Amino acid sequence: MGEVLTTMKIMPDSPEIDLDTIKAAIESSMPEGAEIHEISEEPIAFGLVAIVFKFITDDGEGGSEPVEEMVQAIEGVASIEITGVGRLM
């Protein structure tokens, strides 16, 4: 079984949300079997900034679902969107 790199765009509830708090919650709550690859920020519009979160999981059924559920449950997260999935060689 291989590994998959998934890219997720995380939209905060408002421009006033502290993105560092969301990033810290992600880093401290990663499910077993998932690994953080990169966390960055992407300006959207009108002061709103999204978090671009890349993580590695095993290539299996439901591989990213625990991470998606964990991120969606973080206070201040309005929505998540998977923007890319690629198999690592």
- The b/e string for 50-76 (b: 16+ C-beta within 10 A; e otherwise) is bbbbbbbbeeeeebbeebeeebeebee
Quote the pTM value: 0.91
The domain defined by 3-88 folds into Alpha-Beta Plaits (3.30.70)
User: What pLDDT does 78 receive?
Assistant: 96
User: What pLDDT does 59 receive?
Assistant: 84
- Asked if residues 68 and 34 have their Cβ atoms less than 8 Å apart, the reply is no
**Over the chain, what is the mean pLDDT?**
93
User: What pLDDT does 89 receive?
Assistant: 78
Instruction: Tell me the percentage of the chain whose pLDDT exceeds 90.
Output: 82
Quick one: 6 exposed, middle or buried, by C-beta within 10 A (0-12, 13-18, 19+)? buried
Position 80 pLDDT exceeds 90: yes
Measured between alpha carbons, how far is 83 from 76 in angstroms, rounded to an integer?
20
Per-domain residue ranges for the chain? 3-88
Position 39 pLDDT exceeds 90: yes
Q: Which residues pair with 44 in a beta bridge?
A: none
